[in-house]
Amino acid sequence: MKNNFKKGFIVSVILGIISLLLIGGGVYLYKNKKAVAPTVETEQSNQNQQQTDTQTPPVNIQSDTSNWKTYTNSSLKYSVKYPSNWYAGSSSDEFAFIRNWEVDAPLSLNWQKANNMENISIDIVSYINATNPAYINVKDEALADWTKDVTDKHTILVDGIKAVRGYSLSEGQKVGTVTLVFNGKVYFLAYSPYDSKLVSTFDQILSTFKFTK
């Protein structure tokens, strides 16, 4: 019971942090002079596109992402591609973001842009249970536990790894979430607004997410 409460609390905290990042993350990064993420072009992978389960059709990315930039997290060993005219960066190894709008604007402007259905804010958050890392290695149990409060959830594959997609509520707003467990860590990929017109682009971005060696 205590562990479940703790995990529920942590998930709530993470969603709260995501909300702050979605609204004012750019201001935080600007004020703290965080470097923009690497945008070095990489060759398109020859691997086949990742397939999801029957509930979610696969996204065809073969001809659409060849000119995209690549954000690489060397510490957590993952990479993800994003449109070349979008923006990416991080406030720490555990918190990365992708936006289709500049993030160093005034907070009020960030709020307007973050809630505009023409825009989308994507955050990648990782978490490790330092007190019990072995628990997270029981992937199916950990994944079920960490997504028990997710609504409209279904199983997909991200880089060939089982993940749960759905949405959670943060400050009364829907936040789209994709959760997976890999190498002793829980990863959350969140996007907002939930009904953004750019959700299909998020799907393409998601299908380029890969763990590196």
Mean pLDDT of 37-55: 38
pLDDT surpasses 90 at 80: yes
Specify the fold of 2-211. Protein Transport Mog1p; Chain A (3.40.1000)
CA within 13 Å, CB half, 159: 20
In what order do the strands lie in the sheet containing 78-82? Answer: 69-73, 78-82, 210-211
pLDDT surpasses 90 at 88: yes
Sorting pLDDT into bands at 50, 70 and 90, what band is 52? very low
Q: Is 146 or 4 the better-scoring residue by pLDDT?
A: 146
pLDDT surpasses 60 at 5: no
Q: Can you give the three-state secondary structure of the chain, one letter per residue?
A: CHHHHHHHHHHHHHHHHHHHHHHHHHHHHHHCCCCECCCCCCCCCCCCCCCCCCCCCCCCCCCCCCCCEEEEECCCCEEEEECCCCEEEEEECCEEEEECCCCCCCHHHHHHHHCCCCCCEEEEEEECCCCCHHHHCCHHHHHHHHCCCCEEEEEEEECCEEEEEEEEEECCEEEEEEEEEECCEEEEEEEECCCCCCHHHHHHHHCCCEECC
Spatial contact of 120 and 198, defined as CB atoms under 8 Å apart: yes
- Rank 77-81, 136-140, 180-184 by mean pLDDT and report only the highest: 77-81
pLDDT surpasses 80 at 167: yes
Q: Give the pLDDT of residue 208.
A: 97
pLDDT surpasses 60 at 53: no
Q: What tokens does 33 get?
A: 């002079």
pLDDT tens digits for 122-159? 999 998 765 555 556 667 888 888 898 899 999 999 99
Q: Tell which residue, 101, 95, 106, 107, has the closest CA to residue 196.
A: 101
pLDDT tens digits for 98-109? 999 887 666 666
pLDDT surpasses 90 at 110: no
Sorting pLDDT into bands at 50, 70 and 90, what band is 176? very high
pLDDT surpasses 50 at 165: yes
Predicted TM-score of the model (pTM): 0.73
